[in-house]
Structures are given as structure tokens and as C-alpha cells.
Amino acid sequence: MTIFDAGLKTNVKRMRPMPECVFCNVPKDEIIAENELALAFFDRYPVNQGHTLIVTKRHVETYFDATLEEKDAITRLLIDVKKKLDEEFHPDGYNIGVNVGAAGGQTVFHLHVHVIPRYRGDVPDPRGGIRRIKKPLVPYAAEGEV
């Protein structure tokens, strides 16, 4: 029995690892942390030093396809990964994000959570974080957009 056959507490259709999916085939020596339903490894195309991805062991396309147990496993692993990144890289902040669907920027269609350490001075003005991915529909006064 593999992790993909393990009994989940839900009736969600079980999906098998896909041989062509890069996140279903992470080499063991690249895994920096894992639990029963998720694993973490450094992003091969990092935005910043320490940029980590957390993926489900079961192949699911998006966050919304994951079971509550998988989402809980991701959250627990996120806490472990943050501790490791704090110890090794000493970041000043973090961005944590999930891209869902092609319109949301997802390019690998296997659920993955980006854990991006942020450092003072890595961008001229970090205010707004992910709010800055596009021009807002309504100006945000706290950021001087009005």
C-alpha cells in the first residue's frame, strides 16, 4: 500500500500519482520535510532564497480539490517549513500563496503552496504584497492609491 492508497476520512475519489507530473515524482533527496499527506522541497525556480513548495502526496489539481485532511497536513507542514527557513535563512517576512487555475497563474496542475521568504530590500516597496499582482478594481486608500 502506498500513501496514495491510504484510507482518507472522506469519500473523495482517490487519484493515483501521475508519471508525467513533476510534483508526483519529487526525488527523495530533495524533500526537506514531509508528513503523511504532504511534502515540501525547495522550488527549482525560486523567487527568493529559501522559496519552498508544499505539495500533496496525492495528485490533485487545485486547493479546492484537496480533502480537509490534506489541507490540514499542508498547514501542519507549513509550520514546520517556516521553522526550518527561519533557522537557515532568517527572513524578515513571508508570502504564502496558491495559484488556482490557468487564469490564477497555475502552470503545474498539481496543488502546491508557495512559501516565499521575504527580505528587507528585496523589492523597493513591498507594501500590499500579493495585492500588487494587478491594478485593483477599487483604489486601496491605505496604500495611497486614491
Active site residue 112: yes
- State residue 145's pLDDT score: 58
- Rounded Cα distance between 113 and 37, Å, is 14
Amino acid symbol at 100: V
pLDDT at 19 over 90: no
Chain-centre distance of CA 6, in angstroms? 22
- Rounded Cα distance between 113 and 53, Å, is 5
Residue 140: inside a domain, yes or no? Answer: no
Give the model's confidence band at 134: pLDDT under 50 very low, under 70 low, under 90 confident, else very high. Answer: confident
Domain carrying residue 54: 22-120
pTM of the entire predicted model? 0.84
Amino acid symbol at 41: F
Total tally of structural domains belonging to the chain: 1
Q: What's the chain's average pLDDT?
A: 87
Residue 16: inside a domain, yes or no? Answer: no
Chain-centre distance of CA 79, in angstroms? 12
- State residue 146's pLDDT score: 56
Q: Which residue has the higher pLDDT, 5 or 46?
A: 46
Residue 101: inside a domain, yes or no? Answer: yes
Residue 132: inside a domain, yes or no? Answer: no
Active-site option among 51, 59, 110, 112: 112
Residue 145: inside a domain, yes or no? Answer: no
Q: What digits encode the pLDDT tens for the residues 41-64?
A: 999 999 999 999 999 999 999 999
Residue 56: inside a domain, yes or no? Answer: yes
CATH of the domain at 58: 3.30.428.10
- Rounded Cα distance between 40 and 83, Å, is 13
- State residue 136's pLDDT score: 78
Residue 10: inside a domain, yes or no? Answer: no
Residue 94: inside a domain, yes or no? Answer: yes
- Rounded Cα distance between 113 and 28, Å, is 19
Q: What digits encode the pLDDT tens for the residues 59-100?
A: 999 999 999 999 999 999 999 999 999 999 999 999 999 999
